[in-house]
């Protein structure tokens, strides 16, 4: 119950302002070596850390909801009636049936992560040049929109197509893993 209240607290935090603040933190003041900061890898690791710190809440709520639903299913009650222990029920019945929603949620989260990274890079607090990012490409293309609109069109279209493809993959995985789905 305490973990879910903490999860609710994290969900209630305003996402974009918190992302911007975390992405703009000066790493040298946190004791990170200057060689690592200048290497360019720091920007990638910062984005990974930020997305990890803020992105787990939806999956945590999904796992809890799936687990609560599964504990009331007939096969779990049957295992309990046959004398199976809590660990046996968890490893043999609940976790295998709760993993498919997590896989689907993970694929759908990939699209949100791509949009988050490109949004932060577009705002100038994400991946910095000379490293590449579609959001950074959109930022650099702003000044050239009148003369070369394709510089903004291609990265924007690739972000859109990639997120759409990942969402279709998530829908396909959901249909494949859902035992109640129509096989047609």
- On whether residue 182 sits in a domain, the answer given is no
- On whether residue 41 sits in a domain, the answer given is yes
**Are 89 and 105 in contact, with CB atoms under 8 Å apart?**
no
- On whether residue 184 sits in a domain, the answer given is no
Is residue 95 predicted with pLDDT exceeding 60? Answer: yes
Is residue 92 predicted with pLDDT exceeding 80? Answer: yes
- On whether residue 135 sits in a domain, the answer given is yes
- On whether residue 55 sits in a domain, the answer given is yes
d(CA 172, CA 155): 25
- On whether residue 123 sits in a domain, the answer given is yes
Q: Kindly report, residue by residue over 99-157, the tens digit of the pLDDT.
A: 888 888 888 888 888 888 888 888 878 787 777 888 888 888 888 888 999 998 999 89
Residue in this structure with the two tokens 């984005």, named with its chain if needed: 47
Please tell me the total count of domains within the chain.
1
Phi and psi based region of residue 132 (left: phi greater than 0; alpha: psi -120 to 50; beta: remaining): beta
- On whether residue 183 sits in a domain, the answer given is no
pTM for the predicted model, two decimal places? 0.71
- On whether residue 86 sits in a domain, the answer given is yes
- We report the CATH number of the domain holding residue 27 as 1.10.3720.10
The gap between the terminal CA atoms of the chain, to the nearest Å, is 40
For 118, the enclosing helix (H) or strand (E) is helix 95-123
Task: Write out the residue range of the structural domain in which residue 12 sits.
Answer: 2-177
**Are 152 and 107 in contact, with CB atoms under 8 Å apart?**
no
């Amino acid at each position: 119950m305490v973990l879910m209240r903490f999860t609710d607290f994290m969900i209630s935090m305003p996402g974009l302002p918190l992302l911007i603040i975390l992405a703009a933190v000066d790493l040298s003041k946190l004791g990170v070596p200057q060689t690592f900061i200048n290497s360019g890898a720091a920007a990638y690791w910062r984005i990974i850390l930020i997305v990890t710190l803020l992105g787990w809440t939806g999956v945590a709520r999904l796992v809890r909801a799936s687990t609560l639903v599964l504990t009331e299913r007939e096969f779990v009650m049957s295992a309990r009636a046959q004398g199976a222990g809590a660990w046996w029920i968890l490893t043999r019945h609940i976790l295998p049936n709760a993993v498919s929603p997590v896989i689907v949620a993970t694929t759908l989260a990939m699209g949100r992560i791509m949009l988050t990274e490109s949004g932060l890079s577009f705002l100038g607090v994400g991946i910095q040049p000379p490293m590449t990012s579609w959001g950074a490409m959109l930022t650099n293309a702003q000044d050239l929109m009148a003369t070369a609109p394709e510089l903004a069109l291609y990265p924007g279209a690739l972000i859109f197509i990639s997120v759409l493809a990942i969402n279709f993959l998530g829908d396909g995985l959901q249909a494949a893993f859902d035992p109640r789905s129509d096989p047609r």
